[in-house]
């Protein structure tokens, strides 16, 4: 005699899933990491760091960047985004006019973690693409190195064939 009730058996059948069931989520392609690092946050006296990676998808010519996390547990969005957008924002800045980390909020369409813009600003300072603006608290100035730096990274990308 079967000790399971009909109700238990029906419940067990509906909750059983095949082990290798395909997911509805899109498969994310692996990225080729060109460089990665850890930057100190910009708050005076802070010992907290934020990690970052710069890379691209195989056989693609778009450079990507992402924040990988904070040693202090601060939340950040870890999705990849175009590095060209960051360089474009830096290109719009005047070398003698300070700007704040809020400039970078547009990258995440003003959504996601409120830490994103400040964390990215810390990464850009670490990469020496920006420097402290002495007259503006938490202000930044461009160093003028961003275009050359971006071009040197693009030179590391694979050559995409235009023939079929």
Please tell me the pTM assigned to this model: 0.79
SS3 content of the chain, % helix, strand, coil (to 5): 30, 20, 50
Tokens 């970078």 — which residue?
104
Going residue by residue through the chain (164 aa), what tens digit of pLDDT does each one get?
444 444 444 444 433 333 444 445 444 568 999 999 999 999 889 999 999 999 999 888 899 999 999 999 889 999 999 999 999 999 999 999 999 999 999 999 878 788 999 999 999 999 999 999 998 888 999 999 999 999 999 998 887 665 55
Q: Return the pLDDT at 6.
A: 45
Q: Return the pLDDT at 13.
A: 41
Backbone angles phi, psi at 73, to 5 degrees: 85, 0
d(CA 134, CA 130): 12
Q: Return the pLDDT at 103.
A: 96
């Amino acid at each position: 005699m079967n000790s399971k009730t009909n109700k238990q058996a029906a419940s067990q059948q509906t909750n059983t899933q095949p082990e290798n069931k395909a997911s509805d989520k899109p498969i994310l392609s692996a990225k080729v990491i060109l460089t990665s690092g850890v930057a100190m946050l910009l708050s005076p006296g802070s010992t907290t760091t934020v990690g970052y990676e710069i890379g691209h998808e195989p056989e693609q010519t778009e450079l990507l960047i992402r924040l990988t996390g904070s040693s202090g547990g601060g939340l950040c969005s870890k999705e990849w985004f175009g590095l060209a957008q960051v360089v474009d924002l830096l290109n719009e800045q005047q070398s003698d006019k300070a700007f704040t980390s809020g400039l970078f909020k547009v990258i995440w369409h003003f959504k996601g973690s409120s830490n994103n813009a400040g964390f990215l600003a810390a990464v850009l300072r670490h990469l020496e693409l920006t420097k402290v603006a002495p007259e503006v608290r938490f202000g930044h100035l461009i160093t003028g190195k961003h275009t050359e730096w971006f071009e040197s990274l693009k030179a590391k990308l694979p050559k995409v064939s235009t023939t079929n």
